[in-house]
Amino acid sequence: MRFLTLVFCAAGMLLGGCVREELKTIDVFYTADAEGFYWSRPEPRLENREAGGYAVLKSFLDKQEPAFLLFDGGNWFGSAPEGSMTKGAYVAELAGTLPYTAASVSDKDFAYGWPSLRSVVRELPYPFVVSNLTLENKIPWPMHDYQIRTVDGIKIGIFGLVGASAINKNKSRLPGFRAQDPVESAQKMVSLLKEKGVDYIILLSSLGDSGSAGDAELAAEAGGINLILSANKDLENAETDQVGETFIVYPGAKLDGVAHVRLSFDKKTNQFRGVSFEDVALLKESFGEDVQIASRAQTLLNETRKKMNARVTELPHALETSLSRESELGSQLALCLHRWAKLDGAVINSDSIRAPLPAGRVSEYDLYKTYPYGDNITFLTMRGDALLRALEASLNEKDNFPQAAGFTVTYNPSAPAGQKIKQVVLEKNGRVVRPRETYRIAVTDHVLAGGLGHDKFIDSLEFKNTFVEARQIMRSCLARQKELPAKTQHWKVAK
């Protein structure tokens, strides 16, 4: 077992230390940054003893006194492909069986878009609190801005915060979302909860490494928060801190431990008196495993690993990608979409291609790492002048070069913005794209929503969402090819 126990007494007590009085206690347990590690396994930092996972956590909780509070801070996907490839489906199946009081999410949980995250959240039987996040100026359903729970006469207010900068800079994948300033939101929530007569305020914070102000800065500036439960840090070990009267706890990542916070209150007045912290390793030898959860976790694990290892294709050489220029991998993936759509052309953005494909055997997981998003393909009917404007605008975004197939673009990269493209020629018939003629182009819904840094593709005459995932098309295309097509240069620099 690994224990770290700290005790803080409430401000205003005698200088001689914590006085003896009749106290009542509330146990708070907290998990965060599971990052896809939902099963027990030999844990190197615990001398390779088996630890972690929801089955051990459930068995541990079954041994605790009733009426505790249990919270989770999100960040479900992270470094484990078993979590990423399921897009968090394991959370609803496994975490949904645990008696969580409330939970929050991190900006990383939005990696596959809001519809994917919402489908997970709405399956869970406990509420989610994200107080500074809005969708079209409302708290996104089924989330809440706060919750209030009463335990043994103590009224506890709970709210959540996500990192504002990480959400707000991702407008193309999260259209309509806006994250408010965490400090301002915290101040408003503290004021609201105190008006409602709460005795103690808990913040579920995923500010973590998102680039926003950290939890210590938030505690100092916002004031009035009694306990901050931190997430989104991806740190191996648990951490604690104290800023003024605010106690801050981080439980460590990968669900191999659970943070145990014990709150003490005066029995007569309900006034807060102190907090203690214990970092509990979820060792299988100490707590055992819940049989049903362990069985389901193993089934999910087997299914995911079988899928991860499935062969997609063999490549004679690695296909490299680039953010700043046309790449062989980008052209190949765009060509896959073009061949499937059988239209005049196809366009995807480089920023969605996250990794190269290796030489030799390419697995399902390799392809997933290359294109991890669940983007669907949309067919556009565009006038030639609208297509030229969209391609021109696509050259203005740094590190997100448009990858294309079906047509060749002659351009001058050093020309002023708006004057770079000289000519676009369709490859199927050699015809030059004319302003008043119409053309049909396949794009991802992400590109349509602004994935290339602009919304010019919206200037189309017709839209048809195929509801077919881009990665599904790429997989089928790569699997069918016996050899790679000869390298084709779709973007040519004007001489």
pLDDT at 142 over 80: yes
Report d(CA 239, CA 27) in Å as an integer.
18
Of the listed ranges 248-252, 283-287, 365-369, the one predicted with least confidence: 365-369
Amino acid at 135: L
pLDDT of residue 21: 67
What phi and psi values does residue 275 have, to the nearest 5 degrees? -140, 140
What phi and psi values does residue 155 have, to the nearest 5 degrees? -95, 115
Report d(CA 137, CA 147) in Å as an integer.
20
Distance (Å) of CA 172 to CA 65, 255, 301, 330, 386: 47, 31, 32, 20, 20
- Cα dihedral 246, 252, 256, 259 in deg (nearest 10): -10
What sign does the CA torsion over 466, 471, 473, 474 have? Answer: positive
What sign does the CA torsion over 232, 237, 243, 248 have? Answer: positive
pLDDT of residue 488: 82
What phi and psi values does residue 59 have, to the nearest 5 degrees? -65, -40
The helix/strand/coil state of 385 is helix
pLDDT of residue 12: 38
pLDDT of residue 64: 96
The 10s digit of each residue's pLDDT in 191-217 is 999 999 999 999 999 998 544 568 999
Considering the chain, what is the average pLDDT of its residues? 91
Look up the pTM and report it: 0.78
Of the listed ranges 20-24, 216-220, 372-376, the one predicted with least confidence: 20-24
pLDDT at 14 over 90: no
pLDDT at 20 over 80: no
For the segment 457-464, the average pLDDT, to the nearest whole number, is 96
Residue % of the chain over a pLDDT of 90? 78
Give exposure, 370-403, as e/b (b: 16+ Cβ within 10 Å): bbbbbbbbbbbbbbbebbbbbbbbbbebeebbbb
Report d(CA 139, CA 132) in Å as an integer.
8
pLDDT at 17 over 50: no
Between vectors from CA 407 to CA 405 and to CA 408, what angle results, nearest 5°?
105
What phi and psi values does residue 317 have, to the nearest 5 degrees? -155, 160
Report d(CA 285, CA 348) in Å as an integer.
50
Of the listed ranges 19-23, 93-97, 226-230, 453-457, the one predicted with least confidence: 19-23
Closest of 242, 287, 244, 238 to residue 260, by C-alpha: 238
pLDDT of residue 88: 80
The 10s digit of each residue's pLDDT in 98-119 is 999 999 999 999 988 898 899 9
Element (H, E) at 444: strand 438-444
Report d(CA 441, CA 378) in Å as an integer.
8
> Where do we find the tokens 């294709």?
313
Closest of 152, 129, 124 to residue 67, by C-alpha: 152
The 10s digit of each residue's pLDDT in 264-279 is 999 999 999 999 999 9
Report d(CA 406, CA 287) in Å as an integer.
60
pLDDT at 231 over 60: yes
Element (H, E) at 480: helix 470-480
